[in-house]
Structure 1
Amino acid sequence: MENIRNVLRDYPVIPACRTREQFANALDSEAKVIFVLEANIVDYKEKIQAVQDRGKYAFIHFDLISGMAQDDAALEYLKETADPTGIITTRKNLIAKARKLGMNTIQRMFLIDTTSIASAINMARQTRPDAMEIMPGIAPKVIRAIKNRVDIPIITGGLITESAEIDMAIRAGAVGVSLSKQRLWNYRYQKDE
């Protein structure tokens, strides 16, 4: 995959899919990147293949694949059997392993206070994921604070329900916004000229 900043430049909205209906609608959306948040050992290959067949980039939340251990061997198996564009994970050891396997990585981080912000910055500096997804996504101030301290693309998500919140996140420095609100999946961010 080319640089995630480039992929998301013209279309920064990322469908985050949990249900079959969401997944089907995400495939039909204008999005270039799809986050597969729910999968199991039976259907993960099918979902990744469906995304790739549409010419889109599939990132699967590795920690949430039901029936598959979240360890190095399972990650190798995922790469060998389905070869997604990359993984989303909260685990720093999996970021390192995925990078060794040639996979793109998004490190998901939950920010609840200033300590968790400092921890997220330190972890990102150590693991050097291709992007970091910070949650919740409704805090432009936090996006700016992290963007000013690490040179890693920021994706934000969680609790975003309005197009104005997408705009605020991108203006604050996020390169992408992941969300499950299907009515926003075809929203086009208007860059300031």
Structure 2
Amino acid sequence: MSKTALEAFIRGLHARPMIASVKEAKHIEIALAYREKLGGVFLLTGHIGVVRNYVELYKSHRLPVFLHLEKIGGLSTDYYGLDYLAKTVKPDGIVTTKTNVVKTAKKMGLIAIQRFFLVDTEGLDNIANSLSNAEPDIVEVMPARIPEALRRVQALTPLPVVAGGLLFDRDQALECFGNGATAVSSSKPELWRHTFK
């Protein structure tokens, strides 16, 4: 993925900061119905036999799609699996918790979003260490409902920060934006219909 593609995706997030985290096949079409309000899709369902069709569907509607690699059945995150992903499946990028996968995905031209789970202050230290080693394009922080932690992560990096997890209503998403999040990701279709900008 070129630097221009990353910049275009980030511009899109500023205009439409909601990302649909699609965890169930029945939500694939729902996300498409809200595509004018979404900045992208994180795909967390499917397997190697169907994921290419899902990616092509979203891309045909100009909706950026990212595969959460640990959630796609039958897809290896080694060099060969990522090579197949980049050349055959062709998502815009990936979401992963693994530093080594971020590095490999970026070499293959994919936008790399690194997901971090914050459960204590050690989690913040891990983010700082990983950012210097992996150099992802975007950071996702979970859960989203820790405003002070969002501010601290934003202070660690100039990268866009996506807040995800445990979002139940529009006001909670707005709180994330007020605390430095560039975008939010949610698996709740009822949140996908909202306009935030």
Report the equivalent of 1:107. 114
Q: Matched residues in 2 for 1:89 and 1:184: separation?
A: 23
Structure 1 unaligned spans of 5+: none
More helix by share: 2
Residue 39 (str. 1) matches residue 46 (str. 2): yes
TM-score normalized with structure 2 length: 0.93
Matched residue SS, 1:132: strand
Residue in structure 1 matching 2:188, options 181, 184, 192: 181
Matched residue SS, 1:117: helix
Q: How large is the Cα RMSD of the aligned pairs?
A: 1.1
Report the equivalent of 1:9. 14
Q: Identity, % of aligned pairs?
A: 28
For 1:45-124, what aligned pairs fall within 5 Å after superposition? Answer: 45-124=52-131
Residue in structure 2 matching 1:143, options 150, 154, 177: 150
Residue 22 (str. 1) matches residue 27 (str. 2): yes
Residue 133 (str. 1) matches residue 132 (str. 2): no
| CA displacement at 1:45 relative to structure 2 | 0.1
Structure 2 unaligned spans of 5+: none
**Does the Cα contact within 8 Å between 1:13 and 1:186 map onto a contact in 2?**
no
Regions of 4+ moved over 4 Å: none
| CA displacement at 1:110 relative to structure 2 | 0.7
| CA displacement at 1:32 relative to structure 2 | 2.9
